[in-house]
Amino acid sequence: TDKADKSDNADASNAAKATDTQAISLSEQDADTARSLGQTFAKHRSLQVIADPLYWRQSAVQPSIAGILQPADFDITAYTALDDTAAYEKAGITTEQWNAKQAAAWYADGGDSETPSAYAWQGNNCWTLDALTAAREQGYDTVIADASFDADQTEAVHTGTYVVHTPAGDVTVLKEQSTLGTLAKGQATSTDAQAESSDAGRLARLIAQSAFYQMEQPYTSRYLLMTFSRTTEASWIDQVMSAFEQASWLNLTDLKTMAKADPYNVSDSVNPDKADDANTANTRSALRQLADSRHDIMRMATSILRNEI
First to last CA, the chain: 21
pLDDT per residue as tens digits for the range 226-253: 999 989 999 999 999 999 999 999 999 9
Check whether 15 has a pLDDT greater than 80: no
Beta bridge partners of 166: 169
CA–CA separation, 73 vs 79, rounded Å?
A: 12
Check whether 308 has a pLDDT greater than 80: no
Q: What is the pLDDT, as a whole number, of residue 13?
A: 41
Check whether 19 has a pLDDT greater than 50: no
Check whether 161 has a pLDDT greater than 70: yes
- The mean pLDDT of 252-268, rounded to a whole number, is 95
> How high is the mean pLDDT of the chain?
85
1 vs 127 pLDDT, higher one: 127
CA–CA separation, 103 vs 20, rounded Å?
A: 11
pLDDT per residue as tens digits for the range 129-141: 999 999 999 999 9
Give residue limits of the domains in the chain: 2-176+223-278
Q: What is the pLDDT, as a whole number, of residue 273?
A: 61
Q: What is the pLDDT, as a whole number, of residue 69?
A: 96
pLDDT per residue as tens digits for the range 49-80: 999 998 887 777 777 889 999 999 999 999 99
Check whether 178 has a pLDDT greater than 60: yes
274 vs 75 pLDDT, higher one: 75
- Are 41 and 56 in contact by the 8 Å Cβ rule? The answer is no
238 vs 22 pLDDT, higher one: 238
Q: What is the pLDDT, as a whole number, of residue 18?
A: 41
- The mean pLDDT of 117-132, rounded to a whole number, is 94
CA–CA separation, 42 vs 295, rounded Å?
A: 43
pLDDT per residue as tens digits for the range 180-229: 999 999 999 999 999 999 999 999 999 999 999 989 888 888 999 999 99
- Are 173 and 149 in contact by the 8 Å Cβ rule? The answer is yes
- The mean pLDDT of 3-21, rounded to a whole number, is 39
The whole-angstrom distance between residue 173's C-alpha and the CA centroid of its chain comes to 13
Q: What is the pLDDT, as a whole number, of residue 303?
A: 66
E strand or H helix at 239, and its extent?
helix 234-245
Q: What are the backbone angles phi and psi of residue 165, rounded to the nearest 5°?
A: -85, 120
**Beta strands in the chain, from DSSP E residues, in sequence order:** 50-51, 67-68, 117-118, 120-121, 142-145, 161-166, 169-175, 265-267
Q: What is the pLDDT, as a whole number, of residue 21?
A: 46
Q: What is the pLDDT, as a whole number, of residue 23?
A: 53
Q: What is the pLDDT, as a whole number, of residue 10?
A: 39
